[in-house]
A and B are shown apart, each in its own frame.
Chain A
Amino acid sequence: MKQLLVLSGKGGTGKTTIATAFIKLAQAKAYADCDVDAPNLHLIMQQSTDAIQSDYYGLPKAEINLIRCIQCNLCRQACRFDAISIRDDDFGYVVNYYACEGCGVCEAICPMKAVSLNPAIAGELLLYKDEAVFSTAKLSMGSGTNGLLVTEVKKQLLSAAKATELAVIDGSPGIGCPVIASLSGVDMVLIVVEPSISGISDMERIVKTAGKFNVDTVVCINKYDTNFENTEKIEQYCKKHKLHIVGKVPYDANAVKAINNGQSIVDIDCVSGNAVKECFNETIKILI
């Protein structure tokens, strides 16, 4: 199976819009949404069957048994995450659920065995198995283990869709743990960039991040006609760094309309949809 990952560095450049178009054009039998922080792919790729749902356990969370606690303060002093504080009523200590990273130092250091680490649900994994396999997830509010959940989303996809030719994976913005987790094992990264100074700066950072994984990287310039000068800067950057530009997509008011109708831009006849088709053909030529 060839895995194509769509990334952008900057948010809102059109990752999901392009990923959806690619899934439809390829009639992909396997796809995933690795933006577990703010998943959106399911809004367009609507499924006729229910998902197989499973809980995702992140890191455990500490809990203090107040009956055993002798208020020695050792746990509070040892916690590097400032997750333990004195209760408002001054009676013992309390763990801040969101600050706790489940390291277990408090449990190990407590002389009274008053601290326990308990499993905690940090999100849910969803797997749709209809004509195609669609793997997605939703991180619980404020949870910190998004990289691990991304790895689970990909594992779930790969085990459910073994004999498929192409998998399209929608990534998350940024360059941190979810992006790094999504990069491992992919065959190609498609970077969607918009012609703004911010977009260019962010593209440079994601190109370097992908470079650390030695993954083939290609670029698609979205809304290229909103700033020709910056589009030219992107073209120069790509030329200098030997990055192949698979195509340029114009700004298109129809794109917003299509999305708000729950459609992909290739479901309707519009200029952006037509341009994406060319990007797709060019990408597939290189990938397969």
Chain B
Amino acid sequence: MLRQLGRRLALGLGIVLFVVTVTFILVSIAPGDPARLWVAPGAGQAELDAARHALGLDRPLPVRYVTWLFNFGRGDWGVSLVQQRPVMRVIADALPHTLLLTAASLLLTYTGGIVVGVIQAMRHRTAVDTGLTVTTLIIYGMPAYWLAIMLVLVFSYAAARFGWPAWIRFPALGVTSLDAEFLSPWGRIVDRARHLTLPLITLGAIGIAGTARFVRGAVLDVRDLPFVRTARAKGMSLLAVESRHILRNALLPIITLLGLSLPALFSGTVFVEVIFAWPGMGRVMVDAVGGRDYPIVMATTAIFAVLVVLGNLLADLLYAVADPRVARNGHE
């Protein structure tokens, strides 16, 4: 088990290295010159060259890559070319916002998705199943940014125009209200929760729809296997069979899905952060790519890659817990 974990960690490190290398090459050959941000408008070629030299942009690509990798590994992440403050600070400001959003939406996605999927499988071929199947199909087909816009349209703009009560009226932008400083501690918590609501519903609804579709299939696959029939035949109640036999076995593909769905979740987060002006990693990255802010692009990519690898590692560990065979014999 421990040896296997070590191998997975090494593999994960390799993946992160691959991802940052590819990204470094891509952003470096992209047109656009970040040195322009450091010289006054109308400055001549001499000033520009001086700025390029000072920023180290005139050195050959391999040298820049090795220098960056070495410094990054040491914890020196450089200075943002656009914001002109340490990358560490920029990330430290943004990461908690993204982690809050992704963690909350993962929790919502999996609890909601499993509940809906199991209900559908238990009510297989009834009106409930059909209705939920159509609903999840449609929600799963919605782009996150469009669903976000529609939610803002209804629960922010329409709610304000038609004077809906406060509990179905939500802010369209940001993490806190402008006057959050003056609220009571409890008021501040409520304020944050209200700002989190629409982004969370966006990611959660799409996530629940996708997971429920998957869970329904996984449960239906297990439901007709011989051991389930045996358990029923020996007089076990339906609920006991559901929880002890079906759900435990259906859980395995669901855990795999958890690991695989992380990159998609981060992609969704990028759009949601842009729409809701949520100051997280996704927004920082989109701005940085547009502004050719290499240090920030590299740092955000590396962190996303590490999070994805860690998520997959966690899924593997959960897998071993859920299936004793894996813990003993390894994955393959």
| A-B interaction | no
Interface of A toward B, CB cutoff 8 Å: none
B residues adjacent to A (C-beta < 8 A): none
